Structure 1
Amino acid sequence: MSLLPRLLILPLALLLALPATAWGDDAPLLETVHAFLYEQSQALGDEVMIEVHPPAGQFPACEAAEPFLPGQRELAPGRVSVGVRCGDEGRQVRYLQAQLTVFGDYPVAARQLSPGERLGADDLRLERGDLGRLPRQALREIDAALGLQLTRPLGEGRPLLASMLRAEPLVERRQRVVVEAHGRGFRVTREGEALDEGGHGERVRVRLSGREIIEAEVIAPGRLAVAL
């Protein structure tokens, strides 16, 4: 088994101190890619481990290497493809594979939580782990969940997902509500019946007195708005 991937997970300062003979002719290229990923990944978590895989085939030395992320995609934990432009004006392009393992804190339920609960600081706690193993919609900050309502059960120690949180309803189903319609130079109000419940900023259906059904945005308790 090659020792190369294991060496590349060392901190950058140690990585650059290793002799070039440890990697052979690919050493300058791999150092450049590692340094690029190290810089790009600083905002992902508190601790980042980078494993760059050497090229699968034999290629000439990459002069004036300029790494980039294909498609200008945002860097995320997991398997990463890195493009490298080589030579004059970057006319030659190579692609290397790397593995990013990112460790950091994320909020989890401090106890068994039930649907409808409004989350407070005592309901959550921080845990530390591999962020790449979290579900895609997992929250990273406790503050992002405070004051929101849980829409389904959540067991103790389970991470919070954005899809299971909603703003506390300001409008209830079948509630009599006031709908504001406004445009340039005018503003009118009409009464109606909410057909859905909704929190601040959500859109719900409203049946007006003439049986007309419209969609409006919740702006306050019992009040909605439409723009004309």
Structure 2
Amino acid sequence: MLRQRFTKPSTLRFWQLAFFWAILSVTAFTRIQADDDKLLQQVHQFLYEETQALGEEVVIDLRPPSPHLPECVQPEPFLANTNQAPLGRVSVGVRCGEDGRQVRYLQAQIDVIGDYVVAARDIERGTLITSSMLSERGGNLGDLSAQALTAEEDIVGKIAQRPIRSGSVFLAHYLQAPHLVERGQRVTVIAQGSAFRVSREGEALENGALGEQVRVRFGSREIMTARVAERGILVVDF
């Protein structure tokens, strides 16, 4: 008895279509994977350029984008928070497209091995910080608070606003720049532009450190806001 096995046309067609869609899926997945790899490389390079000056060794762990997002054309990475050093857990924005209107965010963990400044001894509140009060310590800067001040130039010359224990990291809210202008003080205000420079005396209505804006009163009614430039001197730029 001759026995033959045939596949029904409908079943054969089904497997042909299944194989076809499988090939398309693999091709699409490969393309998406390549696009994601390219995006990750660009963001990784951007983060490295932003952090290489912070320490001796930089480790960047970048999470891949969601697979449901479309391709990011002409990616332009940027830091979501420009007021803090890119350390620890960081959110990285990426503008996509020619006009950059499409924005997506990636998450990264950035660890930087380097030196940072700590208090060499106990510092009392109200103390003017000098370099002799500081010492260096090595470690992972990514483990520090986002408010930590790691460079000596950001600490020396400021006044402690609270007691600081020996070995402690300096946080931004621990310190305050010294006042160069005191409330009620007679000050000189310089108004300057490209072709002129005039000055007049007034009374400071509030305390001010270097670079801060302070209100100054002239006579009985006129009040102007000026920038503290040095002790007893403020500037208005036109």
1:21 is aligned to none
Shift of 1:155: 2.4
Aligned sequence identity (%): 40
Q: Quote the Cα distance in structure 1 between the aligned partners of 2:183 and 2:93.
A: 51
1:78 is aligned to 89
| Residue 224 (structure 1) aligned with residue 230 (structure 2) | no
Q: Quote the Cα distance in structure 2 between the aligned partners of 1:37 and 1:186.
A: 49
1:112 is aligned to 122
2:147 is aligned to 137
Q: Which amino acid aligns with 2:180?
A: L
SS of 2:228's partner is strand
Shift of 1:98: 5.8
Contact in 2 for aligned 1:80/1:100 (Cα 8 Å): no
Q: Which amino acid aligns with 1:215?
A: T
- Aligned positions, number: 189
Structure 1: 5+ residue runs without aligned partners?
Answer: 1-24, 58-67, 84-94
SS of 2:117's partner is strand
Task: Give CA deviations for 1:37-70 in whole Å, capped at 9, x if unaligned.
Answer: 489536142234455779999xxxxxxxxxx78x
1:47 is aligned to 57
Q: Which amino acid aligns with 1:179?
A: V
Q: Quote the Cα distance in structure 2 between the aligned partners of 1:208 and 1:180.
A: 13
RMSD of aligned residue pairs (Cα, Å): 4.1
Task: Give CA deviations for 1:144-185 in whole Å, capped at 9, x if unaligned.
Answer: 322223333322222113344343322112111122223454
Shift of 1:107: 0.9
SS of 2:113's partner is strand
Counterpart of 2:132 (choices 122, 135, 139) is 122
TM-score, scaled relative to structure 2: 0.59
SS of 2:208's partner is coil
Structure 2: 5+ residue runs without aligned partners?
Answer: 1-29, 68-74, 81-85, 95-104
Q: CA 1:195–1:153 in structure 2 vs 1: closer, same or farther (change >3 Å)? A: farther
Q: Quote the Cα distance in structure 1 between the aligned partners of 2:92 and 2:44.
A: 11
1:212 is aligned to 222
1:172 is aligned to 182
Q: Quote the Cα distance in structure 1 between the aligned partners of 2:87 and 2:188.
A: 45
Q: Quote the Cα distance in structure 2 between the aligned partners of 1:72 and 1:105.
A: 26
1:197 is aligned to 207
TM-score, scaled relative to structure 1: 0.61
SS of 1:115's partner is coil
Q: Quote the Cα distance in structure 2 between the aligned partners of 1:207 and 1:82.
A: 45
Shift of 1:81: 7.2
Contact in 2 for aligned 1:50/1:101 (Cα 8 Å): yes
